[in-house]
Homo-oligomer: A and B are copies of this chain.
Amino acid sequence: MPSDERDVLAANRSFYESFNGGDLPAIEALWADEGPVVCIHPGWDALHGREEVLESFRAILSGQSAPEVECVGPSAIVRGEMGVVVCGEMVDGAYLAATNVFVKVGAAWRMVHHQAGPVARRREGRRAEGAKTVKKEMLN
């Protein structure tokens, strides 16, 4: 695996570890502090800008029951100084699909975008399934 992919996946791991640890300073350090950032929590409209995005994490983590989020099967696409990670999220027994985008700032990969949304039916062994199965499922 190219080192940039490894580094982007490591930044993605940091995001979930910081969240699960309730480590707001780490989340603040991870999100880019220059340029636009966007965050789409499950069921939520997009939050734009560092202040709104971090305020949402502050609100979630200061709640009585901040959820534990397990990152499942992350894969990365990296081009130069930007990378996107697609993964699943297990949250309170529910399965979500997520997109996380990072940009390289100096030697660090900083987060600029997160979207997570509910998945009605999780696919198992997706890589073994053929396109015909997909079509059949899409039409049902």
> Residues on A close to B: CB < 8 A?
35-36, 38, 40-48, 51-52, 55-56, 58-60, 63, 75, 77-84, 86, 88, 95, 97, 99, 101, 103-104, 112-113, 115-123, 126-127, 131-132, 134-135, 138-139
User: CB distance A46 to B79 under 8 Å?
Assistant: no
Contacting residues, chain B, for A55 (C-beta < 8 A): 131-132, 134-135
Q: A35-B77, A63-B139, A101-B77 are in contact. Are A40 and B113 (CB under 8 A)?
A: no
The contact sample of 30 A-B pairs, CB cut-off 8 A, is A36-B77, A42-B117, A44-B97, A44-B120, A45-B88, A45-B119, A45-B122, A46-B86, A46-B88, A46-B97, A47-B126, A51-B131, A55-B131, A55-B135, A56-B135, A56-B138, A58-B135, A59-B135, A63-B139, A77-B103, A78-B82, A79-B82, A79-B104, A80-B80, A81-B82, A82-B83, A86-B113, A99-B101, A115-B115, A118-B118
